[in-house]
Amino acid sequence: MFCPICRKRKPGRFCPAKAEKICAVCCGTEREVTIDCPVDCGYLTAAHRYEDQHPRTLPPDTPLLDVRIASDVVHANGQLLSAVAFTIAKFCAQQSRATDPDVLASLQALAETYKTLSSGIIYEQRPAIPVQGELYDALSAFLADTKQKVMQSSGRFKDSEIFPLLVFLFRMGLLRANGRPRSRRFIEFLRGQFPGDQDLKREESRIIVP
């Protein structure tokens, strides 16, 4: 018998996503790339532990890297930052197809939109990919509702304060994610910030013991 993916090597690892054994090489190269791995897969967990020991850095060509984020802006708006993170986590809990690249694309697009808003220009940067556009809409609606509530109570709300918070989350996501197209590392990190919340309850394990 050969690995069902490469059809060259002998299978040695049970893959819960494919419900059959695959070889170690394909497990390493196709994990979170062509294989939609369940987050509780032991091999995936081990790979993520290894990644944690080798932190990522942001390359010079990273979008929005030139934006300076003042520490007091993040500290002063910590509650709103947490609420945005929860909105992302809740959306991803309801839309299981969402991945880290989708979240990052939505955050970048929304940050670019708020960058124009803070300069007095309105120019939407909504992503074309459906799930990214849906998350963009969910975040936009949440921020618009928050803005209305704040203005009704205190009358103070600055779009310029939202922009750095979105950039902060975008950078955090880049550092938490691993660059693989089907990764959900950043999503799981956000989910972990709200333990016990029923809206973020994880679906039952997809792992089937052979």
How high is the pLDDT of residue 123? 82
How high is the pLDDT of residue 161? 81
| CA dihedral sign of residues 91, 95, 99, 102 | negative
Q: Is 22 exposed, middle or buried (0-12, 13-18, 19+ CB in 10 A)?
A: buried
pLDDT tens-digit map of 159-201: 778 899 999 999 999 999 999 999 999 999 999 999 877 777 7
- Nearest C-alpha neighbor of 166 from the set 80, 46, 59: 80
How high is the pLDDT of residue 196? 78
User: What secondary structure does DSSP assign to 92-119, as a single string?
Assistant: HHH-TT--HHHHHHHHHHHHHHHHHHHT
How high is the pLDDT of residue 75? 86
How high is the pLDDT of residue 42? 95
Tokens representing 180 are 């693989």
Q: Are 202 and 192 in contact (CB under 8 A)?
A: no
Distance, CA of 180 to CA of 37 (rounded, Å): 11
Tokens representing 92 are 């991803």
User: What secondary structure does DSSP assign to 194-210, as a single string?
Assistant: STT-GGGPPPPP-----
Alpha-helical regions (H) of 39-77: 42-52, 71-76
Give CB contacts under 8 A, 24+ apart, made by 138-141: 138/87, 138/91, 139/84, 139/87, 139/88, 139/106, 139/107, 139/110, 140/110, 140/113
* Domain locations along the chain: 1-54, 60-200
How high is the pLDDT of residue 27? 97
Segments of the chain scoring below 50 in pLDDT: 209-210
